């Protein structure tokens, strides 16, 4: 069949609210042109993030009803542990309330001043947790991974030559090497099994443990199955198992490929590290058989981890981003190519060539998409990643000015996507009218969440 359909039917609905263009302009003004400060009910289609925003299945909701809320040794914990071990094979499975809690625990133990932790690209919270513990986070993605419109099947891959050089010089100061699957900060791009295997081999040659940031492991497995030689006939569970077999542990935000609204885990083989992690867990997250989650949450993760590896789900999931990408490219909108797993990333610099990075083309586009059709995306450019010159305080722009439209799992249908595509294309037709933005107030850290903006009058 030519038509690919959503591999589910809808049992419960949540209304979304249309607003008028006039209302949206007023809402934007009240929110100081920062979409993080717009109420979700004023958003028609919310592509702010794919994290914790998915719809659970009837099987997940059913499992929640039989959650065992015992403080210690809950039945739901053992079900969760079995589900995680079935995929990852790791010995110690430690639940946490979300991904960054697993990162905090891991890096409070292994990261300190003078140490270096390489990755293909660290996600912001991973980097922040490493830097908070005074270690250095280094990104070693292949050069192709930094060129938005260059097509490469595994753009998230680790640059093995650079990793080898780093290991040769500094392996004694590298407590761990990481890989983010898929590479969120680089466009949701996958890594090949070959690259994962080779990275593992290289790190192990220098006796450096290898961890995966596994948030979107299932989406990565789909790309391996469809793009890498020798994997077409393999089952997704087997591909996932092979991927985890090369690692010594992982951090996981179950809010992505765990298919739940809240949850995560740290999983690893090393007994001594696991003991230290559980000790820290008790201090801040909770007892090791619940780690900040309710028994019912553990049940939902156990079911979600099984459902996320269904072939019909992943085919539809990855096709969604690909479909939007195709339509946008055909209309002349530049995006990161090829489309990744969980999102489409629009190149705002190419969208608005007349708006310089100092006037935040990404933030402009985020506001225009909301004004045009009530769509919410997120700026990933100089607002989020721009640095300041320490002497003059002037902005140093980020390498790319992107707008990410991230897709909640199993939430929006084909017609929502067609509507969003129409909004983007209409915004593109109006591009010459758009003006840049300025920041009128900003906090000292993570300014993108709370900064105030205003349009620049030309
Ligand atoms: N690692 C990656 C690759 C992520 O994308 C995220 C979250 C985390 C770790 C942290 O997990 O949110 O459960 O603490 N990414 C979200 C996003 C927030 O919108 O991309 P968390």
Both 279 and 332 in one domain: the answer is no
Q: Ligand 1 center to residue 216 CA distance, Å?
A: 10
Considering the chain, what is the average pLDDT of its residues? 96
Decide which of 242, 276, 307 is a domain's last residue. 307
Decide which of 281, 307, 333 is a domain's last residue. 307
Q: Which is nearest to 217 in space by CA: 245, 233, 202?
A: 245
Q: Which of the pair, 386 or 122, is modelled with greater confidence?
A: 122
How much is the average pLDDT of 105-113? 98
**pLDDT computed for residue 269 by the predictor:** 98
How much is the average pLDDT of 378-404? 89
**pLDDT computed for residue 59 by the predictor:** 98
Whether 39 maps to a domain, the answer reads yes
Helix, strand, or coil (residue 419)? helix
Q: Which of the pair, 234 or 3, is modelled with greater confidence?
A: 234
Both 404 and 266 in one domain: the answer is no
**pLDDT computed for residue 110 by the predictor:** 97
Both 84 and 109 in one domain: the answer is yes
Decide which of 307, 327, 356 is a domain's last residue. 307
CA–CA distance, 121 with 123 (Å, rounded to integer)? 6
Q: Ligand 1 center to residue 99 CA distance, Å?
A: 6
Residues 47 and 423: beta-carbon distance below 8 Å: no
Q: Ligand 1 center to residue 434 CA distance, Å?
A: 31
Both 390 and 438 in one domain: the answer is yes
Both 383 and 401 in one domain: the answer is yes
**pLDDT computed for residue 458 by the predictor:** 64
Q: Ligand 1 center to residue 414 CA distance, Å?
A: 25
How much is the average pLDDT of 276-282? 97
Both 276 and 368 in one domain: the answer is no
Both 163 and 303 in one domain: the answer is yes
Whether 13 maps to a domain, the answer reads no
Q: What is the pLDDT of residues 21-42, one digit of tens each?
A: 999 999 999 999 999 999 999 9
Both 287 and 325 in one domain: the answer is no
Both 257 and 337 in one domain: the answer is no
Q: Which atom of ligand 1 is nearest to the CA of 254?
A: 13
Whether 15 maps to a domain, the answer reads no
Q: Which of 46, 48, 51 to mutate to test the pocket of ligand 1 (most atoms within 8 A of CB)?
A: 51
Q: Which of 183, 212, 256 to mutate to test the pocket of ligand 1 (most atoms within 8 A of CB)?
A: 256
Of all protein residues, whose CA lies closest to atom 2 belonging to ligand 1?
123
Q: What is the pLDDT of residues 298-335, one digit of tens each?
A: 999 999 999 999 999 999 999 999 999 999 999 999 99
Q: Ligand 1 center to residue 426 CA distance, Å?
A: 31
Q: What is the pLDDT of residues 175-203, one digit of tens each?
A: 999 999 999 988 899 999 999 999 999 99
Residues at CB less than 6 angstroms from ligand 1: 49, 51, 98-100, 123, 125-126, 180, 184, 213, 215, 253, 255, 264
Q: Which atom of ligand 1 is nearest to the CA of 50?
A: 19
Whether 400 maps to a domain, the answer reads yes
Q: Ligand 1 center to residue 163 CA distance, Å?
A: 24
DSSP conformation letters of 150-210: ---TTTT-B-HHHHHHHHHHHGGG---EEEESSBGGGTSB---HHHHHHHHHHHHHTT--E
The tokens describing 131, both together, are 């830097």
Q: What is the pLDDT of residues 235-262, one digit of tens each?
A: 999 999 999 999 999 999 999 999 999 9
Q: Per the structure, how many domains does the chain have?
A: 2
Q: Which atom of ligand 1 is nearest to the CA of 101?
A: 14
Distance of alpha carbon 244 from the chain centroid: 18
**pLDDT computed for residue 283 by the predictor:** 95
pLDDT(125) > 70: yes
Q: Which atom of ligand 1 is nearest to the CA of 342?
A: 20
Q: Ligand 1 center to residue 101 CA distance, Å?
A: 11
Helix, strand, or coil (residue 192)? coil
**pLDDT computed for residue 186 by the predictor:** 83
Q: Ligand 1 center to residue 94 CA distance, Å?
A: 18
How much is the average pLDDT of 150-172? 97
Q: Which atom of ligand 1 is nearest to the CA of 216?
A: 3
Q: Which of 117, 121, 125, 137 to mutate to test the pocket of ligand 1 (most atoms within 8 A of CB)?
A: 125
Of all protein residues, whose CA lies closest to atom 15 belonging to ligand 1?
51
Whether 89 maps to a domain, the answer reads yes
Measured in Å, how far apart are the chain's first and last C-alpha atoms?
51
Q: Which is nearest to 252 in space by CA: 268, 239, 264, 269?
A: 264
Helix, strand, or coil (residue 112)? coil
Q: Which of 215, 219, 378, 408 to mutate to test the pocket of ligand 1 (most atoms within 8 A of CB)?
A: 215
Of all protein residues, whose CA lies closest to atom 1 belonging to ligand 1?
123
Whether 1 maps to a domain, the answer reads no
Give the model's confidence band at 45: pLDDT under 50 very low, under 70 low, under 90 confident, else very high: very high
**pLDDT computed for residue 389 by the predictor:** 84
Of all protein residues, whose CA lies closest to atom 5 belonging to ligand 1?
184
CATH number, domain of 126, equals 3.40.640.10
Give the model's confidence band at 429: pLDDT under 50 very low, under 70 low, under 90 confident, else very high: very high
Both 157 and 240 in one domain: the answer is yes
Q: Which helix (H) or strand (E) holds 321?
A: helix 311-330
Q: Ligand 1 center to residue 247 CA distance, Å?
A: 20
Both 323 and 382 in one domain: the answer is yes
Q: Which of 99, 107, 261, 446 to mutate to test the pocket of ligand 1 (most atoms within 8 A of CB)?
A: 99
CATH number, domain of 32, equals 3.90.1150.10
Q: Where are the beta strands (DSSP E) in 73-151?
A: 92-96, 116-119, 136-139
Q: Ligand 1 center to residue 448 CA distance, Å?
A: 16
Q: Which helix (H) or strand (E) holds 284?
A: helix 271-284
Both 327 and 280 in one domain: the answer is no
Q: What is the pLDDT of residues 348-369, one digit of tens each?
A: 999 999 999 999 999 999 999 9
Whether 287 maps to a domain, the answer reads yes
Whether 395 maps to a domain, the answer reads yes
**pLDDT computed for residue 457 by the predictor:** 84
Q: Could you tell me what percent of the chain has a pLDDT over 70?
A: 100
User: Which residue segment(s) compose the domain that 92 sits in?
Assistant: 58-307
Q: Ligand 1 center to residue 291 CA distance, Å?
A: 18
């Amino acid at each position: 069949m030519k038509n690919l359909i959503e591999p589910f039917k809808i049992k419960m609905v949540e209304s979304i609210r249309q607003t008028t263009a006039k209302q949206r302009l007023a809402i934007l003004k009240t929110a100081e042109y920062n979409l993080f400060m717009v109420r979700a009910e004023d958003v028609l289609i919310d592509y702010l993030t794919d994290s914790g925003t998915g719809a659970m299945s009837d099987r997940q909701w059913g499992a929640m009803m039989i959650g065992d809320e015992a403080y210690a040794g809950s039945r739901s914990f053992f079900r969760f542990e079995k589900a995680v071990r079935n995929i990852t094979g790791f010995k110690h499975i430690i639940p946490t309330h979300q991904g960054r809690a697993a990162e905090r625990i891991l890096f409070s133990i292994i990261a300190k001043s003078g140490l270096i932790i390489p990755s293909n690209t660290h996600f912001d919270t991973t980097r922040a947790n490493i830097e908070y513990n005074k270690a250095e986070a280094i990104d070693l993605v292949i050069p192709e991974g930094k060129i938005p419109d260059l097509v490469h099947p595994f753009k998230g891959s680790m640059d093995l030559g650079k990793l080898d050089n780093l290991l040769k010089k500094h392996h004694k100061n590298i407590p761990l090497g990481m890989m983010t699957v898929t590479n969120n900060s680089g466009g949701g791009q996958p890594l090949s099994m070959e690259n994962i295997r080779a990275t593992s081999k290289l790190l192990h040659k220098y006796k450096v443990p290898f961890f995966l940031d596994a948030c979107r492991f299932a989406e990565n497995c789909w790309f391996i199955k469809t793009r890498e030689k020798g994997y077409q006939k393999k089952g997704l569970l087997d591909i996932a198992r092979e991927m985890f077999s090369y690692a010594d542990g992982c951090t996981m935000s179950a809010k992505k490929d765990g298919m739940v609204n809240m949850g995560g885990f740290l999983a690893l083989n090393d007994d001594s590290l696991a003991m230290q992690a559980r000790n820290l867990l008790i201090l801040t997250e909770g007892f090791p058989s619940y780690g900040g989650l309710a028994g019912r949450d553990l049940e939902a993760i156990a079911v979600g981890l099984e459902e996320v590896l269904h072939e019909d789900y992943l085919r539809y999931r990855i096709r969604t981003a690909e479909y939007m990408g195709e339509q946008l490219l055909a209309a002349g909108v530049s995006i990161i190519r090829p489309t990744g797993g969980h999102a489409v990333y629009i190149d705002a610099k190419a969208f608005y060539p007349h708006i310089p990075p100092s006037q935040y083309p990404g933030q402009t586009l985020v506001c225009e998409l909301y004004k045009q059709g009530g769509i919410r995306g997120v700026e990933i450019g100089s607002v989020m990643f721009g640095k300041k010159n320490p002497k003059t305080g002037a902005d140093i722009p980020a390498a790319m000015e992107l707008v990410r439209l991230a897709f909640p799992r199993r939430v929006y249908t084909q017609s929502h996507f067609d509507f969003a595509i129409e909004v983007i294309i209409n915004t593109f037709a109006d591009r010459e009218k758009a003006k840049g933005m300025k920041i009128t107030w900003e906090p000292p850290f993570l300014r993108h969440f709370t900064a105030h903006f205003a349009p620049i009058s030309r």
